[in-house]
Amino acid sequence: MRFSRLLIPTTKETPNDATLASHIYLIRGGFIQSVGGSGLYNFLPLGKKILDKVHAVVKEELDKAGCQEVSLSFVTPAALWEESGRLEKYGKELLRFKDRKENDFILGPTHEEMMVNLVRQTVKSYKQLPLNVYQINLKFRDEIRPRFGLMRGREFLMKDAYSFHTSTEDMQREFALMEETYKKIFTRLGLEFRVVDADSGAIGGSGSKEFMVLADSGEDTIVVCDSCDYGANIEAAVARPKAYDATTEIKVIAMKALYDEGVSKVVHFALPASVELQDVKACNAVNANDLVEYEEEAGIETLVVDSALEGMDDLSATEKTYADISAVQEGDTCASCGGSLRYTKGIEAGHIFQLGTRYSEPLAANFLDENGKSQPMVMGTYGIGVSRLLAAIIEQNHDDKGCIWTKESAPFDLQIIVSNIKDDTQVTLGEQLYEAMLAKGVDVLLDDRKDRFGAKIKDYELIGVPHAVVIGKKLAEGIVEFMTRDGMLKEEVSVDTIAELLAERF
């Protein structure tokens, strides 16, 4: 394609609200455009092209793994959310509206209810199972503070898959297959990532793993082992128990636990003074929707003691239980191998869940087993943040000049830059190489704009196509440059051999 004919509105201006590299460069490189600063984005031609490339990788690997693509209505009837019990639980992120006939609808933030509804109407027998159905579609979450560009927008593109099985064992087989499939997807996209144990959160279920793209800017803290492949979100991480005894100093923290329908209660958490309370673990320990700080002094009624202190504390309360509520610390010992644990930062780009019957039971998604007995289907669910991946790729792959796209995510394979469009020799060579690459099926961008050379190189750095041929002044001496965006490496190449070199490398 010709740069001069494409809408690539690059800019020097950094958006006011942008702090992350991906947010800044995706806007500045003309990939996306903010719609009124409200967590809504337009994908401009380059952004849309990358989205399609990522989309294609995801689809290809899922299809290979036997998944089937569907497309569900984005607007979903509120009645389904009542049936599953999430209409209240989900809170204000659920965008609700009424149509002209005063019927209630939800803009789907996730489609468990819709997919279970689809399957319960079409699958009746064990013969039709297992089934793994996915879509790559819009989602809407009315985030209280949309931020970081594509990282936490309100409208976003997601791949959501749902599998249905006759048994937990078969669901676990599929869960393992999806873990492998996700690894292939993230590997093909050129990402450095870790698969980590995760908390199952609001989706529910019994086991889940997150796919974390490693990046300093990641919102998630993950615990990794230096010696083995153990990794876990801090919310779910465990370490080898420490040797505490009766002399261990203990701290007690009071919190207010919030439940459905405005119910709340005060809970005290006791743990070694030297470790931190892990909020999500603590919340799970009392089955609450949320925990908020609580300062008032009071007698202890409900007490949760860290399981590391079991048998060593002399605390008393009306109701006392033990649970793992402490945050793993850097330097703790890996429970798997005895190695040393450390923190790193990650961006959650995928999440797979063993759901069990969390949705099939309330929504009555049943099948007849081999003995003609009705049973709830056992489910798994598997998500990838497709538009978020664009941000994650750039968080992991950029420098202080702009984007450095990976091979499978790059908007083009190669860019040809004609330095001076008024120089016929430069133009002729540029056009020649361009046509030759097109004929070979290489996705190539020809920078044929009238702009100054400096502006073209700045745009090249900003946009981040992996390789470029620069046809400049040295052409008079028979030399052009082959450039690699990662590191801005330059190779001088004789004009007689450049066609050959390109033919070899692409």
Contacts with its own copies by CB under 8 A lie at 5-7, 9, 30, 33, 35-36, 38, 40-45, 47-49, 51, 66, 68-77, 79, 92, 95-97, 99-100, 103, 107, 114, 117-118, 121-123, 128, 131, 133, 138, 140, 142, 144, 154-155
Nearer to its own copies, 48 or 240 (CB): 48
Min dist CB 443 to its own copies, Å, is 12
Residue in this structure with the two tokens 């078969």, named with its chain if needed: 170
Min dist CB 150 to its own copies, Å, is 12
Min dist CB 14 to its own copies, Å, is 16
Min dist CB 101 to its own copies, Å, is 8
Nearer to its own copies, 123 or 195 (CB): 123
Answer yes or no: are the C-beta atoms of 72 and 134 closer than 8 Å: no
Nearer to its own copies, 84 or 284 (CB): 84
Q: How far apart are the first and last CA of the chain?
A: 17
Please give the structure tokens belonging to residue 70: 């569907």
Min dist CB 219 to its own copies, Å, is 21
Min dist CB 420 to its own copies, Å, is 18
Q: Residues near 420 by Cβ (< 8 Å), separated by ≥ 6?
A: 426, 453, 472, 473
Answer yes or no: are the C-beta atoms of 120 and 364 closer than 8 Å: yes
Q: Residues near 448 by Cβ (< 8 Å), separated by ≥ 6?
A: 2, 3, 4, 418, 421, 427, 430
E runs forming strands in 337-419: 341-356, 366-368, 374-376, 378-385, 414-418
* Burial bucket for residue 478 (CB in 10 Å: 0-12, 13-18, 19+): exposed
Q: How many CB atoms lie within 10 A of CB 41?
A: 22
Nearer to its own copies, 47 or 430 (CB): 47
Nearer to its own copies, 47 or 376 (CB): 47
Nearer to its own copies, 154 or 398 (CB): 154
Distance of CA 132 to the CA centre of its chain: 20
Nearer to its own copies, 19 or 42 (CB): 42
Min dist CB 428 to its own copies, Å, is 23
DSSP per position, 118-178: HHHHH--BGGG--EEEEEEEEEE---SS-BTGGGB-SEEEEEEEEEEESSHHHHHHHHHHH
Nearer to its own copies, 55 or 474 (CB): 55
Min dist CB 109 to its own copies, Å, is 13
